[in-house]
Amino acid sequence: MNTLLLDNHLAQTTPFPVGLEVSHATGSYIYTKDGNKYLDMISGLCVSNLGHGNQAVKDAVYCQLEKYAHVMVYGEFEQDAVSELAATLTGLLPKSLDTCYFVNSGTEANEAAIKLARRSTGRSELIAFKGAYHGGSTGSLAISYNEEKKYAVRPLMPDVKFIELNKLADLAFITKKTAGVFLETIQGDAGIRIPEEAFIKALRKRCSETGTLLILDEIQAGMGRTGKFSAFEHYGIVPDILCLGKALGAGLPIGALISGRNLMEKFTHDPMLGHITTFGGNPVISAAANAGLKELLKDGIIAAVETKGQFISSSLKDHTMVKEIRQKGLFIAIELESAELVQQAFDYCLAHGVITFWFLSCKNAFRIAPPLNISQEDLAHGVSILKDALDSLT
Ligand SMILES: Cc1ncc(COP(=O)(O)O)c(C=O)c1O
């Protein structure tokens, strides 16, 4: 462990930070000050979907900075980069999702969606799923499941129920008292849990029947990560609100909630200024996001994601140390027998120049989520180190 981090003036989230001293990052590699390089097999937790140092993104940032950085809080002035981002994003989504509200993070997108669901339905109950992670603020934490992260700060937002993924009987808990149901289209932090199509379709139907908003959190699973631009495309349904974050800013912080205009207009009236933010939709970050989206959509990057994911899963699934691999595109959990083995695999990979990471809510699995444009050569190298790591456990 690097003790330097603990000696400086930065707050720490754990007593055991990985502590790599980063010098720079380019493509799928992160370089450290001691001259080592590490293959990034987690994309900074599903953020760097284009890898690091993308030239078009850098150019767009410089160009916008030359014009202006911040001129006004969200929503008051017309700013080209922000309008372009809304037009591009909604152009990639079903027609009913035609209005974007930009915020600063995934957490804030969910937080705003909670408010929108409550004020538009006049109901207070929210339903979320066992295993869910929706963010660290008191609202988004209340709809997250992991008690380990909640008990020390209770009471959180009341009137939240949790139901089980893929359990059709649990849909009966959604009633005319329920304002909204929050679901990660594919659960990330729970260890890549992939809902069944019949369940998602029944969930959509139940929400429509009860006048409950279906809010899909694609903060991790969106932006091409699962092999489609939106993960809900795998299921043939459309949410009432879509929440995005992480990879949306091509490495810079931004979040978005996207819905139909009628719904989003609830923030405009009675009372107006229903949700406000100073930096949401910052033009420099919007410019990065616009460039990032253009890059992501070219060269068949998303179309190749599932093949790359299957290369990883098929190369490792028969290893004797692997209990299960859950994979959709490049969103992958490798489950072992215990948290101790996961730690050993992580340590081995890091010592051999490959970065993997844990899940908070699935301790006996580790995550693999490389940049979506990782080269076949880098992917093969990563997989070979992963195999060696698993061998080292036997
Ligand atoms: C599914 C999901 N929702 C929301 C969040 C919160 O996003 P942020 O940490 O950017 O606020 C995360 C973060 O990991 C996430 O994975």
Please spell the DSSP secondary structure of 178-208, one letter per residue: EEEEEEESSBSTTT-B---HHHHHHHHHHHH
Under DSSP, is residue 362 helix (H, G, I), strand (E, B) or coil?
coil
With beta carbons less than 8 A apart as the criterion, state whether 90 and 229 touch: no
> What pLDDT, on the 0 to 100 scale, is given for residue 167?
98
- Cα–Cα nearest to 294, from 393, 241, 224: 224
Distance 104 CA to ligand 1 centre (A): 11
Q: In degrees, to the nearest 5, what angle opens at C-alpha 352 toward C-alphas 304 and 371?
A: 25
With beta carbons less than 8 A apart as the criterion, state whether 390 and 337 touch: no
Domains belonging to the chain, first-starting first, are: 4-53+300-393 (3.90.1150.10), 55-297 (3.40.640.10)
> What pLDDT, on the 0 to 100 scale, is given for residue 2?
54
Question: For helices 376-393 and 339-351, what crossing angle results, to 10°?
Answer: 130
Any ligand 1 atom below 6 A from CB of 219: yes
Any ligand 1 atom below 6 A from CB of 180: no
Distance 246 CA to ligand 1 centre (A): 7
Neighbours of 3 (CB within 10 A): 9
> What pLDDT, on the 0 to 100 scale, is given for residue 3?
55
Distance 186 CA to ligand 1 centre (A): 13
Closest-lying ligand 1 atom to the alpha carbon of residue 135: 6
Any ligand 1 atom below 6 A from CB of 189: yes
Any ligand 1 atom below 6 A from CB of 253: no
Write the DSSP symbol of residue 3: S
Question: Using one digit for the tens of pLDDT, what is the confidence trace for 342-394?
Answer: 999 999 999 999 999 999 999 999 999 999 999 999 999 999 999 999 999 97
Question: Using one digit for the tens of pLDDT, what is the confidence trace for 69-108?
Answer: 999 999 999 999 999 999 999 999 999 999 999 999 999 9
Any ligand 1 atom below 6 A from CB of 135: yes
- Cα–Cα nearest to 206, from 173, 241, 254, 246: 173
- Cα–Cα nearest to 221, from 266, 250, 183: 183
Which residue among 219, 254, 279, 360 is best mutated to probe the pocket of ligand 1, counting the most ligand atoms within 8 A of its Cβ? 219
- Cα–Cα nearest to 102, from 88, 122, 123: 88
> What pLDDT, on the 0 to 100 scale, is given for residue 159?
97
> What pLDDT, on the 0 to 100 scale, is given for residue 17?
92
> What pLDDT, on the 0 to 100 scale, is given for residue 5?
60
Under DSSP, is residue 48 helix (H, G, I), strand (E, B) or coil?
coil
CA distance 29 to 237: 36
The tokens for 215 are 């809010």
Give residue 320's region: left, alpha or beta (phi > 0; psi -120 to 50).
alpha
> What pLDDT, on the 0 to 100 scale, is given for residue 305?
98
Q: Which residues of the chain have pLDDT under 70?
A: 1-7
CA distance 11 to 174: 40
Distance 284 CA to ligand 1 centre (A): 21
Sheet strand arrangement including 29-32: 22-26, 29-32, 37-40, 354-355
> What pLDDT, on the 0 to 100 scale, is given for residue 247?
98
